[in-house]
Amino acid sequence: MNVKRYFAPTAREALRELKEELGPDAIVLSNRAVDGGVEILALPGEAVGALQAARRTAAAEKTAAAAKPAARAAAPEPFAQPGPRAPAPEAAEDDFHVSLSALAANAARNAARPAPAAPPQPVIRPFSPPRIETADFAMRSRPAPASAPVPADDSGSARVRELQETNARLMEELSGIRGMIERQLAGFAWGETRRQAPARAALVGELLEAGFSAATARKLAEAVPEAASRGEARDAASAMLDRMMRAHASDEDVIDQGGVFALVGPTGVGKTTTTAKLAARCVVRHGASRLAMITTDGYRIGAQEQLRIYGRILGVPVFSVRDAADLRQTLAGLRNKHMVLIDTMGMSQRDRMVAEQAVMLSGAGDVRRLLLLNATARGDTLDDVVRAYAGDDLAGCIFTKVDEAASLAPALDVAVRHRLGIRYLTNGQRVPEDLHLPNRAYLLHRALRGQGAESPWHLNGDETGMMLAAAGGA
């Protein structure tokens, strides 16, 4: 067995040397702390296949050796014939081969002879072959699972399926062992991080508490020096997040440049109210005659009437469309407008109509979409929303319900990882007062604000390491 030993001052360095030499499929057998560092024993990934092949070969040889004497013991004795017994030929084996044709020939010869007065009747006992307990017989006689019944005469296919299921179970168990070892190593590395860079470890816990993903928390922590204090660690993470964030501080790309913008997003995210806020902002800059609004929401009760009320207040025309052809025709008649805002129908990000809506908007001409993200939603939910509405025509995002969110970390994390430009923030229902350009200092403050010690979401001790180990194992 080709067991490799790796020694390094830290577990991370030893694991890196292991992966460089044996590759990512290596099997870690053990790890322990020794004088001067950490020792890891590992096997190459192909060693598992070699062990399985050797075990199958040994099992086959054992089965063949057990089956030969058992087959001799199972052979039936020939029927006794009257008269002297003929000597066996020199080339005959110990066992006898009885066929139907040989029995028929013997019966014909016996019938031609004169029958004796009262021949004794031979006693024929029912033949019962001995039970052969070999590995192959036991495996083939094992009942098949109820979900995959095996025909009685298809022993070869049953054997193949049995081996496939065994291999699948073995690989599943190996994957589980590998994940467990990786989680243990991640926990060991976390303990080492807490000893060598306590400020960095504390920062990771604060970022996870705030709602950042483990990937973003690790990336921000990499910008913190090992010898940094708690305050210096927060400043370094804030500066790094500021560089990663794409926040637009002016209306140039939307209100001043103009064009056709469609506001999209899940149900209840605030598309109609945000459309009215953007319309009011455009009216103040360029006048009501330079703007038009379109609604495609024909499902929600009162949705079109709500937008028409806003249009009457602002003095802006509102058009209703039903399908892609109607939208193309309406936009063709509004070519002279500086800006056209489209209020779309809200739907779940898992609804197949999301793709149909994107096709309708892209087929209507040069339409850019603004994705509305609910700042109160979980990070994984916002990830689903961004993946569903992604596309080249996505001009950025708008954070809504900022006033209701306990932290802006999940929304900001998603925008940073998906490289989305943050166009506006909304923090209420007032039109147009509750629409704001993104302020970087405000976003960083709301995203990096930690939980108090009395909060149930506060992480204590090694709970941060447990979360990172679980994320790494997954």
In a domain, 109, yes or no: no
Query: Cα–Cα distance between 254 and 369 in angstroms, integer?
Result: 11
Say whether 154 sits in a helix, a strand or coil: coil
**Domain edge (last residue) among 189, 215, 244:** 244
What is residue 54's predicted lDDT score, i.e. its pLDDT?
67
Query: Residues near 101 by Cβ (< 8 Å), separated by ≥ 6?
Result: none
Query: Euclidean distance between the first and final Cα of the chain, in Å?
Result: 29
Domain membership of residue 187 (yes or no) is no
- What residue type is assigned to position 368 of the chain? R
Series of mean pLDDT values for 10-residue runs along the chain (474 residues): 80 83 79 82 73 69 64 48 46 39 47 50 44 40 46 67 82 73 55 64 83 88 82 89 90 88 90 92 92 81 77 91 87 91 85 82 87 92 91 91 91 94 91 90 88 60 55 47
Alpha-carbon span 358 to 356, nearest angstrom = 5
CATH code, domain carrying 382: 3.40.50.300
Domain match, 214 and 310 both = no
Residue 93 lies in a domain: no
Say whether both 227 and 328 belong to one domain: no
CA distance 37 to 8: 6
Please state, in angstroms and rounded to a whole number, the distance separating the CA atoms of residues 400 and 402: 5
Tokens 């098949």 correspond to what residue?
144
Q: Quick check: helix, strand or coil at residue 177?
A: helix
Residue that finishes a domain, picked among 180, 208, 227: 180
314 shares a domain with 371:
yes
Domain boundary among 126, 152, 180: 180
- SS3 state at 452: coil
Radius of gyration of the chain (CA): 39
315 and 368 both lie in a single domain: yes
In angstroms, rounded to a whole number, what is the distance separating the alpha carbons of residues 261 and 275? 10
- Looking at the structure, tell me whether residues 304 and 233 fall in a common domain: no
Residue environment code for 416-433, b if the CB has 16+ CB neighbours within 10 A, otherwise e: bbeebbbbbbbbeeebbe
Please tell me whether residues 234 and 176 are part of one structural domain. Answer: no
CB 401 within 8 A of CB 375: yes
- Indicate whether 213 and 337 sit together in one domain: no
Does residue 229 sit in the same domain as residue 300?
no
Residue 75 lies in a domain: no
pLDDT, residue 109, reads 56
For residue 365, what pLDDT is reported? 82
DSSP 8-state assignment for residue 458: -
Give the residue numbers spanning the domain of 283.
252-448
Tokens of residue 278, six digits: 């953007």
| Residue pair 287/333 in contact by the 8 Å Cβ criterion | no
DSSP labels for 206-225?
Answer: HHHHHT--HHHHHHHHTTS-
Contact 256, 273 (CB under 8 A): no
**What secondary structure letter does DSSP report for 247?**
B
Q: Do 230 and 290 fall into the same domain?
A: no
The closest alpha carbon to 376, from 342, 426, 331, belongs to: 426
Q: How far apart are CA 151 and CA 135, in angstroms?
A: 20
* 330 within 8 A of 319, measured Cβ to Cβ: yes
**221 vs 203: CA distance, rounded Å:** 7
Q: Is the dihedral of CA 407, 411, 414, 420 positive or negative?
A: negative
Q: DSSP readout, 263-307?
A: EE-STTS-HHHHHHHHHHHHHHHH-GGGEEEEE---SSTTHHHHH
Identify whether residues 379 and 341 lie together within a single domain. Answer: yes
Do the Cβ atoms of 468 and 186 come closer than 8 Å?
yes
303 and 405 assigned to the same domain = yes
From the list 285, 343, 265, 336, the residue with the least C-alpha distance to 311 is 343
Closest CA to 217 of 420, 12, 445, 467: 467
Q: Say how many domains are in the chain.
A: 3
For residue 406, is it within any domain?
yes
Q: What is the largest CA-CA distance in the chain?
A: 132
**DSSP three-state, residue 195:** helix
H/E stretch holding 318: strand 318-320
Residue 35, Cβ neighbours under 10 Å: how many?
5
Does 326 fall in a domain?
A: yes
Q: Are residues 59 and 172 in the same domain?
A: yes
Distance CA 371, CA 395 (A): 8
